[in-house]
Chains A and B, each alone.
Chain A
Amino acid sequence: MEDRIEKRIELKAPVPRVWRALTDSREFGEWFGVKMNSPFVPGQVARGQITYPGYEHLTMEIVVQKMVPESLFSYTWHPYAVDPNTDYAQETPTLVEFKLEKTANGTLLVVTESGFDKIPARRRMEAFRKNEAGWTQQMRNIESYVTQS
């Protein structure tokens, strides 16, 4: 069974612009919806406060893995660590990789998240379910915000 998620997206922006949006922790937070407290440095933990209304109590934590300029940015984390009663540190994190490629019109970004075979899926699912309605609403808010601006 497939234990990874892969997304490909064409961005009409030059590679250096996309690289900055991914690896400058302040810019990353702008589109990701999190206020990071520190810059991204390979091998170091970066923490931030989720900025979605209603979810500000949640902290996001990533461990930056690789930063190959304008080519590869990766980090590990615990996806959907949304249940305050679960100790996610006990679980093996997933690996998120952003790969950039120059194209005629801008940048091809390939995002993969892998390692789902190591997490106890049912427990995570339950944790997510509790928050699912809230997340769905948040996503609608953000979408309307983005399309208005």
Chain B
Amino acid sequence: MSPRARTEADAWRAHAPVFAALGDRTRLSLVTKLRDGRSHSISELTSGSKLTRQAITKHLRVLESAGIVYSVRKGRTSLYEFDPEPIEHIREYLGLVSREWDRRLHRLKSFVES
């Protein structure tokens, strides 16, 4: 990944609704394919899908704008790669909110049961 692409991805990511990008069956299946850590061409990602190349490209752009995947040019072809960071952040964040609720409810329990 070039430094420039990295910076762009970071800038996008800063405002990107990662959850929203993942809240779609097609995009989730694309993420599953891309999670192998290899670069994939749009043709590769379209094969086995009922969707057109254009539709897949549109979904990839949504994932890209959320920072979940990024594209690299190889000659005339765009290859897509997976970036685990945004999903990790989401997981970490939800984990924190979840633990906070555990603590609050623990205090509520002591409060109403005493």
Contacts and interface: CB of A to CB of B under 8 A. Distances in A.
A118 B17 contact: yes
Interface size class of B (residues with CB under 8 A): 35 or more
Contacts of B89: 121-122, 125
Given A80-B97, A121-B90, A11 B14 contact: no
B44 interface: no
B107 A132 contact: no
B110 interface: yes
Given A7-B101, A113-B97, A128-B93, A122 B13 contact: yes
A33 B106 CA distance: 13
Interface stretch (A36-44, A58-66, A138-146): A138-146
B20 to A, nearest CB: 5
Contacts of B19: 1, 3, 116-118, 121
B94 A31 contact: no
Contacts of B90: 1, 121
Nearest to A92: B17
A22 B14 CA distance: 35
A95 interface: no
16 contacts: A1-B28, A1-B90, A3-B19, A7-B102, A21-B111, A31-B104, A111-B101, A111-B105, A113-B97, A118-B19, A120-B14, A121-B90, A125-B89, A125-B92, A128-B96, A143-B103
Interface of A: 1-3, 5, 7, 9, 11-13, 17-18, 21-22, 27, 30-33, 79-80, 109, 111, 113, 116-125, 128, 132, 135, 139, 142-143, 146, 149
Given A31-B107, A121-B19, 10 more contacts: A1-B23, A5-B97, A11-B113, A13-B112, A31-B108, A33-B107, A79-B97, A116-B94, A119-B17, A146-B107
